[in-house]
Amino acid sequence: MTSTTATPLLAVLAALVAAPSASAGDCPAGRDGSLQKVAPVLWNDARLSPLFRSFAVRAERSALVIDEHHLTLTLVARRAPRALLPLALPAPYVGSVSLALDVPIGGCVDVEVVLFDGALRSATFAAPASLRGAIKSGERVHKSIETGAAAVTLAPGSVALGDEPGARLYLGQGAPDPTALLAEQGGIDGYLASLAALEVALSPAERARFDFLVTDRRLRRELSSMLPRARQTEIARFDEGALPKSEQPLLRFWRQQLNPASSPTDARARLLIDDQVDAVWVEGNEVYVRAPGVSSSVEVPLGDGAARVWIVSTESGRTTTIHDTHAVLKKGELYSVAKTMVQHIGAGARRECLRVDGALPSRQRIYWRDLGTPPGPILGAEDAYRPPFDAAERSVTVVSNARGGALFPPIPLVYSYTHPGSYRWRLAADGTVRLDLIDDDELCPQVVKDPLVRP
């Protein structure tokens, strides 16, 4: 059965569709230039070039805003500007839309172009735009699309007719890679809102993957404010077998960081609990909860290496996780759990050395940096780094490439003054993490690089 009713997609823009079309602006005097020469990234864009190649350049202005290149172009239409764009939809749905700009031949329109690192980030046309198309499921028309707006913003993977949720259509063949969506404005939430507006549903396997990556993003952003039990409840929702292999190492990583772990030895250490601490967790197990009559010290089991310690406190009447660390707890030594640190009594000299090696699940080369203040330079697996500044804690993040964002969340390293020496942080191919002590200090020569310069 074929649907002929216009979709409720972008219902928030219905008033714009009915609004009178704005006329093209007056063209400034001047000779036309080639868009291919002025902005080759627009001319050569795989999906949007049919639209951009309808124009010549009448005038241009350029500005550098921090690390973004902003171009304001006045374009003159040489033919009717339109392009056929495929929609990024999960199977079994397929669809496309025809994008048309209401600019007469010979008329001019302004477009604001934002480039980052030479690539197109967005292009906003100040002209009325219309979208027409359909989504099919097999041979059946699932949804007809007919909508428009007073302006349109284009990006390599999307077209937006407004800022409201669901006002963006995503472009491509099949469902987009959710890890790529995480780097875009709106990200996964925007794509899911777009599917909801189109009345299209993800398969259970795809939904599990999207749900997990949304949770992963939430853990990265909100981990320090999530209570330990809430963390464990959140990660326990996911079945590793329901996720594709590309996400399974990341799930194992979070399980290792958040789930309880048993101690492989019988050694124990005694913690003295600060008055401002409400609860202490060691290796994902709650070892202390403040209550009337409860002792202010507690013995905890020890493993062979650094132990995960989570400290919960109440600030301004609100219960908050105030610190996470991998702390070295040694048999027979006394430690004091203060409000913001695990402090070793009689701490020795500090000798710090950071190295990262191993393999990412995607087989990408490892890049990493020390997240100090200021942050250290982005380094490779072959680099060793001795931080030139002092801090109670070292956190290292692994990034996907020399110019990319964090692929794995920051990992707090050992408080080096609890166990002076050099440390090697390893990320195994299966996503697990381990920390090794390196006694040979010569393995870590001083690395001097500008933290703001990318390799």
Between the two ends of the chain, the Cα-to-Cα distance in Å is: 57
Strand 384-385 versus strand 354-358 pairing type? antiparallel
Percent of the chain with pLDDT over 90: 25
Query: Has residue 418 got a pLDDT over 60?
Result: no
Residue located via tokens 């490439």: 401
Q: What is the band of 164 on the pLDDT scale with cuts at 50, 70, 90? A: low
Query: Has residue 30 got a pLDDT over 70?
Result: yes
Query: Has residue 14 got a pLDDT over 80?
Result: no
Residue located via tokens 């390196």: 438
425 three-state secondary structure: strand
Pairwise CA distance, residues 147 & 18, whole Å: 9
Query: Has residue 5 got a pLDDT over 60?
Result: no
pLDDT, residue 80, reads 94
Helix (H) or strand (E) segment spanning residue 16: helix 14-18
Q: What is the band of 99 on the pLDDT scale with cuts at 50, 70, 90? A: very high
Mean pLDDT value across the chain: 75
Cβ density class 31-45: b for 16+ within 10 Å, e for less: eeeebeebbebbbeb
pLDDT, residue 351, reads 55
Peptide bond preceding 8 in cis form (omega within 30 of 0): no
The gap from C-alpha 16 to its chain's centroid, in whole angstroms, comes to 33
Q: Alpha helices, DSSP H only, in 117-260?
A: 178-181, 187-197, 204-222, 228-235, 248-258
Q: Which two tokens stand for residue 437?
A: 């002590």
CB 262 within 8 A of CB 235: no
Pairwise CA distance, residues 284 & 287, whole Å: 9
**pLDDT higher at 351 or 111:** 111
Lowest-pLDDT range, 207-216, 261-270, 393-402?
393-402
- Residue 10 phi/psi, 5-degree rounding, is 60, 40
Q: Residue 423 burial by CB count (10 A; 0-12/13-18/19+): exposed, middle or buried?
A: buried
Residue located via tokens 């250490």: 269
| β strands within 82-219, DSSP E | 82-86, 93-101, 108-116, 119-125, 129-137, 140-149, 152-155, 158-160, 168-170
Query: Has residue 125 got a pLDDT over 60?
Result: yes
CB 367 within 8 A of CB 378: yes
Pairwise CA distance, residues 156 & 180, whole Å: 12
Pairwise CA distance, residues 70 & 44, whole Å: 18
Per-residue pLDDT reduced to its tens digit, 188-207: 888 888 898 899 988 888 88
Question: Which of 4-13, 21-30, 258-267, 332-341 shows the highest mean pLDDT?
Answer: 258-267
Pairwise CA distance, residues 300 & 281, whole Å: 10
